[in-house]
Structure 1
Amino acid sequence: MSEILTQSALAERLVQKTGVSPEVAKRFASVFFTIVRTGLKSSDRFSIYNFGTFKKTWIETAEGLNPFTGEKMEIPAHWRIKFIPCPSVARRINRPYSHLKPKVIKEQKISDKGLLARASVIAQEEKPVSDCTLLPEENTSSVQEPAVIEDDFYSSIPVSEPVRQEEIEDNNDNDDDDF
């Protein structure tokens, strides 16, 4: 669950955890956020030792949709602030999940709708171009040959032939005769 930490909420936590007076905690919270804000105004990065780095990135103007009306609108260019925790903080955050290890999942069956199967069908349908004509250019010393797809790469992928619509209709006609 996401929690928003305001200056007053940070001050309350400081009072609870450290026992300092509420005035000192409020002053610290205010000064902390002011230091981060001024640091980001003067530079693209602001790092706090053993805590993390605030990074400022520029987001260009984009086109989006108004979620209420569905109409297109222009999102103006703006700065986005990203926080990257230091390795020790990241380890502390991820400690409950440290026992989990990545597992490679191997597919048992390659479907005929998969990306490699479709690439194989496209590669088999394409005919290699044997005669290329080059347009005259100023510098033809670095002419690149067209890439040729190796058939050995795709030969290990089982691909079923695509079923045509006419075959489906013929099979449906034969099924009606059985009744």
Structure 2
Amino acid sequence: MSLNYTEEELNLLANTPHIIGSAMAFTGSSGLFGTGKEMFVNAQAVMAGVKDYPHNALIQAILPHVQEGASEAMEKMKKVRDWGVERYKAKGVTSAEKFQDAAVEDCRAIADLLAEKASEQEAAEYKQWAMTIAEKVAMATTEGDFLGFGGERFSANERALFTRIQDAFGVTTLLA
């Protein structure tokens, strides 16, 4: 398989789904345990791309494949994570709001990149995968509850970020 992307572009494509989930997790007020659960769901949803999109060459190329070797998969994930951390540090991302803004900016850049280089199906599936990650993280816990009672599953802040990401990708989903 030959993808026509630079290493920088592949890093952006690999890092952004995780960033979307992280931004969604830090948007609400789920508390320590709720945010922890959201981050766990984020990792699961990102890795689900391997099995959910088996024929999407782009998604398969950017995700680590544990069955090909755990150490290689971990090294690939670490490389992308380190790239993303350095990139966000260089952008001066120091707050949840700046993190959200940077995530949305990356989604816009990816929408442009996919329009230029991906097939229509690859682009649609990548965006669907990314939006599914955002939705799963948002729905992982309730916010505004007391001792587990009450609260809302998809908070106003999460809905606002979801809409911004959706708009950046130029997609419409049933959730927002």
Identify the TM-score tier after normalising by the shorter chain. Answer: under 0.3
Which has the larger share of strand?
A: 1
Query: Could you say which structure has the higher helix fraction?
Result: 2
User: Of the two structures, which has the highest relative contact order with CA contacts closer than 8 Å and spacing of 6 or more?
Assistant: 2
- The structure with the larger Rg is 1
**TM-score for both structures, normalised by structure 2:** 0.22
